[in-house]
Amino acid sequence: MPSYQAPLRDMRFVMDEMLDYPTHYAALPGGDDASPDVVAAILEEGARFARDVLLPINQSGDEEGCVLEGGEVKAPQGFKEAYQQYVEGGWPSLAADPEHGGQGLPPSLAMVLSEMICATNLAWGMYPGLSHGAADALRHHGTDEQKATYLTKLVEGVWTGTMCLTEPHCGTDLGLIKTRAVPAAGEAYTITGTKIFISAGEHDLAENIVHLVLAKLPDAPEGSKGISLFVVPKFLPNADGNPGERNGVTCGSLEHKMGIHGNATCVMNFDGATGYLVGSPNKGLACMFTMMNAARLGVGIQGLGLIEASFQNSLSYARDRLQMRGLSGKQAPEKPADPIIVHPDVRRMLLTQKAFAEGGRMLVLYAAQLLDTVELGQPGEEKERAETLLGLLTPIVKAFLTEVGFESTNEGVQVFGGHGFIKEWGMEQLVRDARITRLYEGTTGIQALDLLGRKVLMSQGESLKVFTKEIHKFCKAEADNPTLKEFITPLSKLNAEWGELTMGVGMKAMQDREEVGAASVDYLMYSGYVTLAYLFARAAKQASVALEGDDKAFYTAKLNTARFYYQRLLPRTKAHAQMIQAGAASLMAISSEDFGLGFEI
């Protein structure tokens, strides 16, 4: 079975030393509750829960999977008991508003916990993870009655939530949905339709499931402008707020999947189910985006958690596995062969995982700090800036971290060699689980279009300028720091090039809109590498200052990891820049009919 220890030392470095979370928390309304002692206790207890409760049922959950019997889904053995411990520990309410039964702590703390959960049992973590998004949507858009009925239960954790978007004939293009909502008695609507790929759509972990469903009213406009959002519970609440009559929503089947076997991915049938409108008619997509943006950050954290899990186990194996001698001679003469960690290519793979884990953690915690300000900060310039930056970074967090997450888990299998291909080591499960993260909540291509087309070009580059100005100020402030020259010089050049590439794509797109789609994925990956370069430069600055302290080994390793990132991973930007500039011509030259020349379809 794979092992895991929460990287608390690195988490504290990023939170306390690099991003100064203590000062950040103190400046937030109610931030006094997030004192250093409280934060430390949460991290320690979260690490224990992930390691001792979730990790032991991860592999067994993958092997056992979920079972559908008579319309009811049973999660793998131990999942329900783990969820009960999760609820009893107060984890669902950690960052929720006290008005709805929450503890009122900053959202960033819940995101730190989420990394630990994803690293130890991604499939289990999806059950409560989706509830947070449902709660956010109801908090922002629900009526007072809906909040009292559903939100308090979601915050408590005794009910879980889902979001029901995708249908058999449409995925991202939600304007094509066929699910219908017809007015019924009072404020109720009758919901009819089928949704697919619904994570945690049916299970036995909680007493009720709150589905947030996209549907169209009878007089709805065509396309995405005619979508409304409805809350549809599995059991209709009684007058006392407890589950009552079974609603007309059932699980038709479970998907047979490549990974995340422990989570129930359901086909959900709404057969005249009773639902209630959330928000205004035909404004459901805007309401759902509240949930989707939270989910996209959550999926990025899933990528990060899987990177860390794969890295830790790869490192442990590489230290123990003996094979051949080092190219420069015996490194462990007392042993029959040297540990494979002495070999340069193994070190390349391990350092790739390490750099993406540490860089990804910095990115997530930087975004989490912005989220705190957006959710809890006072209205004003700082909050507006945080909203702009978070909007820009959300598709990068989601897509970049899941792309490099899949790469990193594959490198983990490679470090193990043939043993990585064997199930009992657990490395191939990480690869299978990681693969979905590049797909759900918007594929990498969709995230890339959102970043380049919507966030950057539609704002005439203003959102990007907010970030590149921050990087420029950092580079300018450290320009004369000899310790950081190896980081500042390339970072400054890339920061300038980022703007130039953006302008180049924008100019081409004025003549041919296909240029945006042609450049978008490379643009997103380029953006991700530059963003991590900025964060590694900040980490290097902090580490260089602290080198003479008591933890010299940690800070030295941090500097060396930053150097590896700059020398061996950051050069990938050159290829991405070249492909961004290549344009759409070669992609669009072959007609759709001629794609298959050479074989019969």
Residues 526-580: pLDDT tens digits?
999 999 999 999 999 999 999 988 899 999 999 999 999 999 999 999 999 999 9
Mean pLDDT of all residues in 450-460: 97
> From the CB of residue 50, how many other CB atoms can be counted at a distance below 10 Å?
24
The more confident residue out of 78 and 172 is 78
**Is the separation of the CB atoms in 53 and 87 below 8 Å?**
no
Asked about 441 being catalytic, the answer comes back as yes
Report how far residue 166's alpha carbon sits from residue 267's, in angstroms, rounded to the nearest whole number.
10
The residue type found at 368 is: A
Summarize pLDDT for 245-286 with one digit per residue, the tens.
999 999 999 999 999 999 999 999 999 999 999 999 999 988
Give the percent of the chain with pLDDT over 90: 92
Secondary element (H or E) of residue 275: strand 265-278
Rounded to the nearest 5°, which phi and psi values hold at 141?
Answer: -125, -10
Question: Which is it for the CA torsion 310, 316, 322, 327, positive or negative?
Answer: positive
End-to-end Cα spacing for the chain: 45
What confidence score (pLDDT) does residue 289 get?
A: 80
Report how far residue 286's alpha carbon sits from residue 296's, in angstroms, rounded to the nearest whole number.
15
- The packing angle between helices 514-546 and 381-416, to 10°, is 90
The residue type found at 157 is: G
Rounded to the nearest 5°, which phi and psi values hold at 541?
Answer: -60, -50
What confidence score (pLDDT) does residue 601 get?
A: 65
**Is the separation of the CB atoms in 196 and 206 below 8 Å?**
no
Report how far residue 107's alpha carbon sits from residue 289's, in angstroms, rounded to the nearest whole number.
18
Catalytic residue among 358, 375, 403, 441: 441
- The packing angle between helices 514-546 and 344-376, to 10°, is 100
> At which residue do the structure tokens 């959550």 appear?
298
Residue 396 has pLDDT above 90, yes or no: yes
How far is the CA of 528 from the CAs of 345, 405, 483, in angstroms? 24, 13, 24
Helix (H, G, I), strand (E, B) or coil at 428: helix
Report how far residue 448's alpha carbon sits from residue 26's, in angstroms, rounded to the nearest whole number.
35
Summarize pLDDT for 53-63 with one digit per residue, the tens.
999 999 999 99
**Is the separation of the CB atoms in 208 and 217 below 8 Å?**
no
Q: If pLDDT is split at 50, 70 and 90, which confidence band does 170 have?
A: confident
Mean pLDDT of all residues in 64-93: 97
Q: If pLDDT is split at 50, 70 and 90, which confidence band does 296 have?
A: very high
**Is the separation of the CB atoms in 122 and 56 below 8 Å?**
no
Domain boundaries, the chain: 456-585
Mean pLDDT of all residues in 208-213: 98
How far is the CA of 472 from the CAs of 172, 421, 476, 486, 498, in angstroms? 36, 45, 6, 16, 12
Rounded to the nearest 5°, which phi and psi values hold at 186?
Answer: 60, -130
Bridge partners of residue 73, in order along the sequence: 68
Q: If pLDDT is split at 50, 70 and 90, which confidence band does 209 have?
A: very high
**Is the separation of the CB atoms in 273 and 232 below 8 Å?**
yes
**Is the separation of the CB atoms in 164 and 212 below 8 Å?**
yes
What confidence score (pLDDT) does residue 8 get?
A: 98
Residue 293 has pLDDT above 90, yes or no: no
pTM above threshold 0.95: yes
Query: Which ranges constitute the DSSP H helices of 245-343?
Result: 284-320
CA atoms within 13 A on the CB side of 451: 32
Task: Write the DSSP string, 2-66.
Answer: ------HHHHHIIIIIIS-HHHHHHHSTTGGGS-HHHHHHHHHHHHHHIIIIIGGGHHHHHHH--
